[in-house]
Amino acid sequence: MSDSFLTEVRGNVLVMTINRASARNAMDGPTAREMAAALDRLDESPELFVGVLTGAGGTFCAGMDLKAFLTGDTPEVPGRGMGGITERPPRKPVIAAVEGWALAGGLEIAIACDLIVAGESAKFGVPEVKRALVAGGGAALRLPELVGTARAMELLLTGDPVTAARAEQIGLINRVVPDGTALEAALELAAVIAANGPLAVQATRAVALGARDWDSKQRWDRQRQILGPVFSSEDATEGATAFAERRPPVWKGR
């Protein structure tokens, strides 16, 4: 990894940090590719169960690096979108730990994650329309699903940001914590998730996200296809055995 994107393993959690504080962690091409590589590592490593994504220097991400864009550089990773996550998130859960601004593409990266923890002074916005642009990195697609059409339209069409308290109130984020503690709180949440059966977590996530695209006639069959391997896994046996023996389970991810 380059200096613009850092990774650190903490137990079963991969901590990923956008490290361009001088540019308010705006995303350029090299950083996006580093982030995509880190997300691949998360998915491919059997020892990693959860990812946490944050930004250095008190800002999550200010969106696309416009200076880099003017030179022909883009933070879009082919087939994966902004930062390598907005169009194709990983199959393992990722928690966004937000301090300061999650703006434009930064908000789109945050809502591509599964959970968001934010410092109380954090702000979230998609101001593209103020510059005659469109939030094409997922905000116009995901916000109506996350907060409802009316609230999404207010965010998208005014371009005005909302506070962390308001974001929590409308269901955009999960938790508001004291400033400077978003990463710590996200790691605590990640530890709770990582203590669960990893195959069960991934399958549950796949059903919850996939069901939106399944019609009523196929949804139960699709769910059975995803859940079948989980119920026949070694981890499922281990979970029941550990419960009967009153001990913590030891997951193998198979």
Q: 34, 76, 99, 128: which is the annotated catalytic residue?
A: 128
Question: For residue 1, what pLDDT is reported?
Answer: 53
Question: For residue 65, what pLDDT is reported?
Answer: 85
Question: For residue 73, what pLDDT is reported?
Answer: 82
Active site includes 44? no
Question: For residue 168, what pLDDT is reported?
Answer: 97
Question: For residue 210, what pLDDT is reported?
Answer: 87
Within the chain, which residues score under 70 in pLDDT? 1-2
What's the CA gap between 110 and 12, in Å, rounded?
Answer: 21
- In one-letter notation, the amino acid at residue 197 is G
Residue closest to 113 by CA, chosen among 135, 146, 157: 146
Question: For residue 131, what pLDDT is reported?
Answer: 87
Question: For residue 109, what pLDDT is reported?
Answer: 96
What's the CA gap between 249 and 191, in Å, rounded?
Answer: 14
Q: 99, 108, 234, 238: which is the annotated catalytic residue?
A: 108
Fold of 5-194: 2-enoyl-CoA Hydratase; Chain A, domain 1 (3.90.226)
Question: For residue 2, what pLDDT is reported?
Answer: 67
Q: The pTM is what?
A: 0.93
Neighbours of 58 (CB within 10 A): 16
Among left, alpha and beta (phi > 0; psi -120 to 50; other), residue 25 is left
Active site includes 128? yes
